[in-house]
Amino acid sequence: MQTVSPCVTCPHRDQGFCGTLMEKRLEESSAQQRANWQHHRIVPAGKQIATRNEVSEDVFVLCGGWGFRFFQLPDGRRQILNFLLPGDLFAATSVFEQRFHFSVKALTEAQVSGMRREEVQARLDANPRILMALAESCAAESEAADKSLTALGQYSAEERIAHLLLHLMRRIAARSVIREQRYPFPLRQQHIADAVGLTTVHVSRIFSLFRDRGIIVVSDGILTVVNLPELERIGVLN
């Protein structure tokens, strides 16, 4: 599980929270912050940050805001692979690949940090704790991918949406203190639809259903969980 801590590598850290284990390990190995092998930028909401098949010398971390990783199909369909929260690497495997196999967009205004891949790899060799942290990220991503696959293959619409919400809630709670079951929630229904393989219309109906049954309410970018046990009953696989 991830712990709450301010962003250590990002110069914009006063504006948000990062602090994954991977990031901490990298920082540990580096004497000076804001070294010249890192760069940072702020991107507006909706802006595409990375494109499939694009070559990059950098490994990216989302330092602030939300983003998402996705595949775009030629006919316009889009699959959102996962959502990126502060502290997340775009993908753990991108430390070893110079080409993105996915695209990334900013969901809100976001802070993105890039680190030279060869520098990251050099630190990997020098410090086995970084390698271990990276291996853990890989394993966590792989397990999350397997769970998403199960959700899309086996779950009904209600189950998929409940599952997505619970998964996001756990990740948000690991990064900031949650009071009264109110979670920041910048997703549009279109994002949910593209993540769980439904249409926006159907997502809206399920949300209405949940609202009417007193399970959750979404408004003003805030997700309020009214009946957590019921949400878990619907959405927890195992």
* Residues in contact with a copy of itself by the rule CB under 8 A: 71, 73-74, 77-79, 81, 91-93, 95-97, 101-102, 125, 128, 132, 135-136, 138-139, 141-143, 145-150, 152-154, 194-197, 237-238
Q: Least Å distance between CB 168 and DNA? A: 15
Candidates 48, 156, 214, 232; binder of DNA (CB under 7 A) is: 156
Candidates 56, 204, 224, 227; binder of DNA (CB under 7 A) is: 204
How far CA 235 is from CA of 25, 164, 203, 230, in Å, comes to 34, 8, 15, 9
Residue range at the interface with DNA (CB under 7 A); choices 18-26, 52-60, 124-132, 207-215: 207-215
CA atoms of 24 and 63, how far apart (whole Å): 12
Q: Least Å distance between CB 159 and DNA? A: 8
Q: Least Å distance between CB 52 and a copy of itself? A: 8
198 touching DNA, by CB under 7 A: yes
Residue 202: phi and psi, rounded to 5, are -70, -35
Cβ-proximal residues to 106 (8 Å cutoff; 6+ apart), any chain: 43, 44, 45, 46, 47, 48, 49, 65, 66, 67, 112
Candidates 136, 141, 158, 230; binder of DNA (CB under 7 A) is: 158
Of the candidates 189, 187, 185, the residue with the CA atom closest to the CA atom of residue 198? 189
